[in-house]
Amino acid sequence: MYKLIIFLISLLFISESCKMSYSFTGASISPDVKTIYIREFANNAPLIMPTLSQTATETLKDKFVSQTSLQLVDSDGDLNIEGEIISYQTMPMAIQGNDAAAVNRLTITVKIKFINVTDEKQNFDTSFSRYADYESSKSLDQVEDELIKQILVEINEDIFNKTVANW
């Protein structure tokens, strides 16, 4: 019994000295990292959706605030994300016998530059792209808001996983 108590106390001290912050969202954030700065996304896509830049930025901020203990700051965080929308396009996908599209696809691509001030080995500069299909019987205007929400959820999950979940 005495050895078990010593073992458990030793295990407690060892685990306290090797601390890494984990959450149920899969994030593993160093205890040294306390803040995050997410810069407003630039919209450099050839086809511009006027509110997409703000929507993309705000939904990413919401994801980090709700799923981590990081504090959102106005500049120079321990983690820094800069993004730009480089593509926003719709195109026909499933062509029917009469050369008309049965399904169209909306694709959004964002380029992300991530800087981890405390561990520059984690820095990256990469693009994330996702799409959603919609019936050609509907115009893009009819489905655009819902498709953007769906696509941004997926892109934000990819960004989150690459930045703090280390997947």
Render pLDDT for 96-130 as a digit per residue (tens, 0 to 9).
666 677 899 999 999 999 999 999 999 999 999 99
For residue 79, give the CATH number of its domain. 3.30.160.150
Percent of the chain past pLDDT 90, that is, above it, reads 69
pTM: predicted TM-score of the whole model, two decimal places: 0.80
Q: Is residue 1 part of a domain?
A: no
**Total domains, the chain:** 1
- Residue 65 inside a domain? The answer is yes
Using a CB cutoff of 8 Å and minimum separation of 24, what contacts does 117-123 make?
Answer: 117/77, 117/78, 117/79, 117/80, 118/30, 118/32, 118/33, 118/78, 119/30, 122/163, 122/166
Please report whether residue 128 resides in a domain: yes
Quick check: is 13 in a domain? no
What band does 143 get if pLDDT is binned at 50, 70 and 90? Answer: very high
Domain-embedded: residue 111? yes
Position 4 in a domain:
no
Domain that holds residue 145: 33-165
